[in-house]
């Protein structure tokens, strides 16, 4: 596509009443037409993240209407699923009274194209039915305590990695994560403080993800992370960065001396294997991290896995 065509497309978008925006893999606006910037109060030279747009507009009662009691919890929950599938469509309303039909298309690098059209003319009762359906779907993929994705959502993302490897040969990685000595946290501080640690951990990890990565709670203090189109070495570096962030956290307030860590096991996908084998290998690597002293990442890398990675 030459510069003339790009310029003409931009002119057409800016003259349109349809809202158009492009976000990069870190969820920052890299392009937005006039209609989008006006609806979400984004300046012509700004490149805010989606979360920043939601946060500042919510505080000023403009942009998207967010009927949520806890904005931070809503952002954590929404970000755990935002952009994790190739395409989705949904409805949303603005404080200026408009009702929008929004579509999000995501490429393999995590860049997202958002297009929204005004559908305010549709009957309000029909909107309510669809919105209730969307809320029910969201709830079915959300962990109640931490607000991040649950086992059901993560299982689908793990299957997607295996399908990509099987159909197009694209390597992906799976990490299984466990908070270290979590039983001692509950025994020393009580289950309520244990819940605070789980919520803190989920919030910290969610903030370190790339768009294409998916993170969620599998149960108890066990979580999982998927890394599509990612080598073991790269995924391991991401986890090491997460370890460093978690080590610095002091989530219990009155107990300022309390800190915690996690252990993780990571493995790469293999063509044709079932999900159970994929998960088992990550779990075995997690076990090695635990018996080796915790507070570390271990890679499952046997001769078969290394040969598959090379291919």
Strands 87-93 and 99-106: antiparallel
Query: What percent of the chain has pLDDT above 90?
Result: 71
For 110-146, letters b (16+ CB in 10 Å) and e give bbbebbbeeeeeeeeeeeeeeeeeeeeeeeebbbeeb
**Spacing of C-alpha 91 from chain mean position:** 20
For Cα atoms 18, 119, 13, give the angle at the middle one, nearest 5 degrees.
5
11-18 long-range contacts, CB within 8 A, separation 24+: 17/118, 18/115, 18/116, 18/117
Query: Domain 151-310 is classified in which CATH homologous superfamily?
Result: Reverse transcriptase/Diguanylate cyclase domain (3.30.70.270)
Span 3-140: which CATH code? 3.30.450.20
pLDDT in tens, 254-280: 787 899 999 999 999 998 899 999 999
Q: Can 3-140 and 151-310 be said to share one CATH topology?
A: no
> CA-to-CA distance for 253 and 267, rounded, in angstroms?
36
- The pLDDT mean for the chain works out to 90
CA 21 to centroid of chain Cα atoms: 19
Residues classed as catalytic: 221
Cα-to-chain-centroid distance, residue 156: 14
Using alpha carbons, select from 239, 242, 260, 265 the residue that is nearest to residue 250: 260
Question: Would you mind telling me the total number of residues written for the chain in this entry?
Answer: 311
Question: What is each CA distance from 300 to 45, 51, 155, 233, 278, in whole angstroms?
Answer: 46, 35, 20, 11, 11
Domains in the chain: boundaries? 3-140, 151-310
* 31-86 residue pLDDT tens: 999 999 999 999 999 999 999 999 999 999 999 999 899 999 899 889 988 998 88
Q: Between residues 10 and 296, which one has the greater pLDDT?
A: 296
Give the C-alpha separation, 196 to 200, whole Å: 6
pTM: 0.73
pLDDT attached to residue 302: 67
Instruction: Return the pLDDT at 296.
Output: 97
Residue range 161-203, pLDDT digits in tens = 999 999 999 999 999 999 999 999 999 999 999 999 999 999 9
């Amino acid at each position: 596509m030459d510069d003339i065509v790009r310029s003409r497309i931009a002119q057409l978008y800016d003259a349109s009443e349809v809202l158009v925006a492009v976000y990069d893999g870190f969820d920052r606006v890299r392009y937005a037409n006039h209609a989008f910037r006006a609806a979400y109060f984004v300046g012509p030279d700004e490149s805010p993240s989606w979360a920043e747009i939601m946060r500042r507009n919510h505080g000023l009662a403009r942009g998207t209407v967010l009927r949520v009691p806890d904005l931070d919890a809503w952002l954590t929950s929404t970000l755990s699923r935002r952009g994790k599938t190739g395409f989705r469509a949904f409805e949303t309303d603005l404080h200026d009274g408009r009702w929008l039909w929004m579509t999000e298309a995501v490429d393999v690098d995590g860049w997202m194209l958002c297009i929204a059209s005004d559908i305010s003319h549709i009957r309000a009762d029909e909107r309510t039915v669809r919105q209730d359906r969307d809320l029910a779907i969201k709830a079915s993929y959300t962990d109640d305590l931490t607000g991040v994705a649950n086992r059901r959502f993560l299982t689908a993302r793990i299957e997607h990695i295996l399908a990509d490897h099987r159909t197009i040969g694209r390597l992906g990685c799976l990490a299984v994560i466990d908070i270290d000595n979590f039983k001692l946290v509950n025994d020393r501080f009580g289950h309520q403080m244990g819940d605070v640690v789980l919520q803190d951990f989920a919030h910290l990890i969610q903030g370190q993800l790339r768009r294409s990565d998916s993170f969620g709670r599998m149960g108890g203090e066990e979580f999982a992370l998927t890394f599509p189109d990612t080598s073991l070495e790269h995924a391991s570096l991401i986890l090491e960065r997460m370890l460093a962030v978690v080590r610095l956290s002091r989530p219990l307030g009155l107990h300022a001396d309390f800190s915690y860590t996690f252990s993780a096991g990571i493995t790469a996908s293999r063509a044709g294997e079932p999900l159970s084998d994929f998960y088992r290998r990550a779990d075995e690597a997690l076990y090695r991290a635990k018996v080796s002293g915790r507070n570390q990442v271990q890679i499952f890398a046997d001769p078969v896995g290394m040969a598959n990675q090379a291919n």
